[in-house]
Chains A and B, each alone.
Chain A
Amino acid sequence: MKIIYPLLFILIACFFLGPMFLAFVASITPASEFYDYSHIFPSRLTLEHINKLLFTLGGFRALIVSIEVALISIGISFALGIPAGYAIARYTFRGKDGVKLAMLFTRSLPLIVVAVSLVTVYMRLNLTDTALGVALAHAAMILPFVVIFTSSIFSSTFIEYEEAGMVFGLTRFGAFLRISLPLALPGLAASAIYGFIMSWNETFAASILSIQNRTLPAHILATAMASPDYFKYAMATVMAIPALIFIFIIRKYLISIWGISLK
Chain B
Amino acid sequence: MAKVVSQDVKKYFGEVRALDGVSIEIEDGAFVVLLGPSGCGKTTFMRCISGLEELTDGKIYFDDKEVSRLQPKDRNVAMVFQSYAVWPHMKVRENIAYPLKLKKFSKEEIEQKVKWAADLLNISELLSRYPSQLSGGQRQRVAVARAIVHRPEVLLMDEPLSNLDALLRVKMRSELKKLHEQLKVTTIYVTHDQVEAMTMGDKIAVMNSGRIIQYGTPEEIYKKPATAFVAGFIGSPQMNFFKCDVVEENGQQYAKFEHVRFKIPSRINNRSVIVGIRPENVSLEPPKGSDSITLEATVYFIERLMPETILHLDVGNAKSRITAKLPDDLVLPEGKKIEVFVSTESLHFFDAETEERIL
Taking Cβ atoms with an 8 Å cutoff, the residues of A that contact B are 158, 160-161, 163-171, 179, 182-183, 185, 257-260
Contact = CB atoms under 8 A, between A and B. Distances in A.
B52 A168 contact: no
B335 interface: no
A160 B43 CA distance: 13
Contacts of B86: 164
Contact of B77 (A165, A167, A171): A167
A171 B78 CA distance: 15
A258 B146 contact: no
Interface of B: 50-52, 71-73, 77-79, 81, 83, 85-89, 98-99, 102-103, 129-133, 146, 150
Nearest to B75: A167
A166 B71 CA distance: 8
24 contacts: A158-B83, A158-B85, A160-B81, A160-B83, A163-B52, A163-B79, A166-B51, A166-B52, A166-B72, A166-B73, A167-B50, A167-B72, A167-B79, A168-B99, A168-B146, A169-B103, A171-B71, A179-B87, A183-B89, A185-B89, A258-B130, A258-B131, A258-B132, A259-B132
B87 A164 contact: yes
Contacts of A260: 88, 130, 132
A169 B130 contact: no
Given A164-B79, A259-B130, A171 B73 contact: yes
Contacts, number: 67
B130 A161 contact: no
B225 to A, nearest CB: 34
Contact of A257 (B50, B79, B89): B89
Given A168-B146, A259-B133, 4 more contacts: A166-B51, A169-B98, A185-B89, A260-B132
B89 A167 contact: no
Contacts of B72: 163, 166-167
B85 A160 contact: yes
B52 A169 contact: no
A260 B134 CA distance: 12
A169 B131 CA distance: 20
Contacts of B79: 163-164, 167
B52 A170 contact: no
- Residue among B71, B72, B86, B130 with max Cβ neighbours from chain A (10 Å): B72
A168 B102 contact: yes
- Residue among B89, B102, B130 with max Cβ neighbours from chain A (10 Å): B89
A169 B81 contact: no
A258 B98 CA distance: 16
A168 B132 contact: no
A166 B70 CA distance: 12
Nearest to B76: A169
Contacts of B78: 167-168
A160 B143 CA distance: 12
A258 B131 CA distance: 8
Closest 5 CB pairs of A and B: A169-B102, A259-B130, A164-B85, A168-B99, A160-B85
B149 to A, nearest CB: 9
- Residue among B50, B83, B87, B103 with max Cβ neighbours from chain A (10 Å): B87
A259 B131 CA distance: 8
A260 B51 CA distance: 32
Contacts of A185: 89
A169 B77 CA distance: 9
B114 to A, nearest CB: 14
Given A260-B130, A260-B132, A170 B87 contact: no
Contacts of B73: 166-171
A27 to B, nearest CB: 42
Contacts of A170: 73, 102
A167 B129 CA distance: 23
A169 B85 CA distance: 15
B97 to A, nearest CB: 11
A169 B103 CA distance: 7
B102 to A, nearest CB: 3
Nearest to A257: B89
B71 to A, nearest CB: 7
B128 to A, nearest CB: 10
Contacts of B146: 168
Given A170-B73, A259-B132, A260-B130, A164 B102 contact: no
A243 B103 CA distance: 43
Nearest to A168: B99
B154 to A, nearest CB: 11
Contacts of A163: 52, 72, 79, 81, 85
A195 B206 CA distance: 54
Contacts of A168: 73, 78, 98-99, 102, 146, 150
Contact of A161 (B50, B52, B85, B129): B85
Nearest to B79: A167
Nearest to B130: A259
A106 B71 CA distance: 39
A166 B52 CA distance: 8
Contacts of A166: 51-52, 71-73
Nearest to B77: A167
Contacts of B89: 182-183, 185, 257-258
